[in-house]
Structure 1
Amino acid sequence: MKIIMYNVRQDTEGRFVREWAKETGNEVKVVHEPLSADNVNLMKGCDGLDILQTMPIGDEAVYKQIADMGIRQITCRMVGINMIDLAACKKYNLKVTHVPVYSPRAIAEMGVAHAMYLLRRIGEYRYEMDHNADFSWPANLMSNEIFNLTVGLIGLGNIGSATAQIYKALGAKVIAFDPSYNPADEPFVTYVDSADEVIKNADILSLHVPLLPSTKGMIGAEQLKMMKNSAYLINMSRGGLVDTEALIQALKNHEIAGAGLDTLADETTYFGKKVTPADVPADYKELAAMPNVTITPHSAFFTETAVRNMVRIGLNDVVTIVNGGRSRNEVFLG
């Protein structure tokens, strides 16, 4: 079987791809760029398709080209599928799979790391030391300890659940809102009736929901005003969940204490890339200059365990679907 993989970094995924190909006896054609209308023709002669995307793959014509070349599936080696036109996939009989669980703990740990850095005021101490030669212990930088705090989660899927378990182990009270109730989370979480209840009561508010029309901008000016002035917002999910301009204003107005961000709404133009200083957006620069904000370039997933699992689960799903089987990671197309 010949599989084409798009957006493969040789310095990270490459060795896991080679290991898998050697173990299974399948051929993998590697393309370093994401799938687009400009390179869709490269999959000609291949049996299966595996992609990693942060941007749409193109208009309906691209999906038709994929189907016309004999491909019957699109495997996304990531959780999010918002860059895939599911209606076009259904129209051209393209099955879609994703990797909903590759290492929930990788993202959970990064979120907790951001939160603890902010909670202990490390960025603010560094700012005073570096800019003002102030090595004292000002009263306004006295911090709290995690066991005294309430952590609020919106979304309690695999990553949310892993996050809850870590915070619970650290002694925090954990509350969460999710439309689906999972009794397995009972030892770690107290469910509440609404997202607003979480927002109002959390000392650390952590987002773990997909980006959908219903969740886009779910944290805006109104929600930020609901939060405690001493609360921190943590977003390891999707940048579009948060109104960036509203967040900047809330931070300037001291409506919240800080923010830990692994994702921003306009990140696809620069996160995951090396760009020129002129290409860095103004909103990033403004946030990054704040000592009570931490930003990472959507790298929470970037652990050896997670990358290996993304590669292997994705490629295994390609083989399963091409051979006529059904993957448990298949996306319902309606």
Structure 2
Amino acid sequence: MTPTIFVTAPRLAPSGVELLDQAQARVIYLQNGNDVQEVERIMASEPIDAVISRTVDLSATAIASCPTLKVISKHGVGVSNIDVDAATHRGIPVYVTPGANAQSVAEMTLGLMFAAARRIAWMDAELHAGRWSRVQDGIELHGKTLGLVGFGQIGQRVAAVCLALGMEVVAFDPGLKTSPNPAVRLVASVDEILPLADVLSLHVPLNKHTRGMLGAEQLARLPRGAIVVNTARGEVIDEEALIAALRSGQLYAAGLDTMSVEPLPAGHALAALPNVVLAPHVGGSTPAALAGMARGAARNVLGWLQGQPADPAACVNPQVLA
């Protein structure tokens, strides 16, 4: 059998391509990585056995229109762009690549935290513009409390560094009953974290429970002058409430790798605020992370097609495995 694999992006890292080549797979790439209609057209017209899903939506229409489809793997861990219910309805497993980009996202989180705390991006822009603006109002993180919403592989890496800085760390994760790091105190809810967190960092998937989880009421419960860092999904924060909190001084700063609308529209209020550090959703996009995700996604789909399924823990709809 020569499988047909559809990659919903113009390219895949060589580590993944090599595995697909070894399996003698026929690989179709999406030339425009944002074209949902083209995804649906290809799915309806090609005998696709498996999809490696990048960032473009994989809709219910696309999934339903491809009778040969057997397995889907996300190139990463966030499946909000995949209609998992539609896949489940057809008995199609949806896999992810947990841990493949955790180190890169953790490092981006730390970079945004430092940049926000010390106004590094603003000072850099000032110097590039020829102005010697020596602001001396940055926040020293030693002795501050980091609140982590989500304490998986990314959060645990962030915690280790922040503990070494001399920060206190508290975390909430509904999937954990005991802390994997004894120096990190688990709390019972997000509400319990808020009044403690001088820095609040978000590491959650986007779903019905997390969408809009941080709104005006929650931001008001943070200590005045707190920092918010988001490398999860933009939609977990009410952006209008975030902007208001940044303008009022309730928040000292924010570091954001994700926004509700991407690409960020020209003239967006977030881009006009001097106390916001922005990145274009690239936390998990270092060459090392891309290689790990490509390799993991290729193994996921090939393993299923070859009768050697990946670890069920990497499947987001494990009920289909039965």
Regarding TM over 0.5, the answer is: yes
- Cα distance 1:217–1:206, how it changes in 2: closer, same or farther (>3 A)? same
Contact 2:105 2:283 in 1 (8 A): yes
Residue identity matched to 2:205: P
- The corresponding residue for 2:9 is 8
Per the alignment, in what secondary structure is the counterpart of residue 307 of structure 1? helix
CA contact (8 A) 1:154 1:176 kept: yes
Separation in 1, partners of 2:84, 2:96: 12
Shift of 1:210: 1.0
Shift of 1:31: 2.9
Deviations 1:60-94 (A, max 9, x none): x422222x2x2211122121112222222122221
**Hey, what does 2:44 align to over in structure 1?**
41
1:150-169 equivalences under 5 Å are: 150-169=145-164
Report the counterpart of residue 62 of structure 1 in structure 2.
Answer: 62
For this pair of structures, how many residues does the alignment match? 312
How do 1:227-242 and structure 2 match up within 5 A? 227-242=222-237
Distance 1:120 1:330, change over 3 A: same
Within the candidate set 225, 247, 250, 2:242 is matched to 247
- The residue correspondences of 1:215-294 to structure 2 (distance < 5 A) are 215-267=210-262, 270=263, 280-282=265-267, 285-294=268-277
Counterpart Cα distance in 2 of 1:27 and 1:37: 18
- Out of 194-203 and 230-239, give the one that drifted further: 194-203
Matched letter for residue 175 of structure 1: V
Report the residue type matching 1:135 in the other structure.
S
Question: How many Å separate the matches in 2 of 1:188 and 1:9?
Answer: 43
Shift of 1:134: 5.2
Q: Which residue of 1 aligns with 2:290?
A: 307
Q: What SS does structure 2 have at the residue aligned with 1:206?
A: strand
Give the deviation of 1:143 after TM superposition: 2.5
Pair 1:256–1:326, CA change in 2 (3 A): same
TM-score normalised according to structure 2 size? 0.88
How far apart, in 2, do the equivalents of 1:135 and 1:82 lie?
A: 42
Aligned to 1:330: 315
The 1-side partners of 2:23 and 2:42 are apart by 27
Counterpart CA distance in 2 for 1:9 and 1:169 is 40
Q: CA deviation at 1:131?
A: 7.2
Partners of 1:43 and 1:333 in 2: CA distance = 27
Q: CA offset at residue 307 of structure 1? A: 0.4
Letter in 2 for 1:47: D
Q: 1:199–1:226: 8 Å Cα contact kept in structure 2?
A: yes
Distance of 2:115 and 2:280 partners within structure 1: 17
One-letter amino acid matched to 2:279: T
**Do structure 1's residue 198 and structure 2's residue 196 form an aligned pair?**
no
The answer as to whether partners of 1:4 and 1:43 remain within 8 angstroms in 2 is no
Counterpart position of 2:30: 31
Q: Which amino acid aligns with 1:93?
A: G
Q: Which structure 1 segments of 5+ residues have no match?
A: 272-279
Q: Contact 1:152/1:204 (CA < 8 Å) preserved in 2?
A: yes
- Tell me what 2:97 maps to: 99
Q: Distance in 1 between matches of 2:72 and 2:273?
A: 41
For residues 305 and 279 of structure 2, the distance between their equivalents in structure 1, rounded to whole angstroms, comes to 37
Equivalent-residue separation in structure 2 for 1:130 and 1:85 (angstroms) = 45
Measured against aligned partners, the alpha-carbon deviations of 1:153-173 in whole angstroms (never above 9, x if no partner) come to: 011112111211121222211
| Residue ranges of structure 2 left out of the alignment (5+ in a row) | none
Q: Which residue of 2 aligns with 1:277?
A: none
- Cα RMSD for the two superposed structures: 2.3
Compared CA separation, residues 250 and 72, structure 1 to 2 (3 A) = same
Cα shift readout 1:260-291 (whole Å, capped 9, x = no counterpart)? 00101112xx26xxxxxxxx254xx3211222
SS in 1 for 2:59: coil
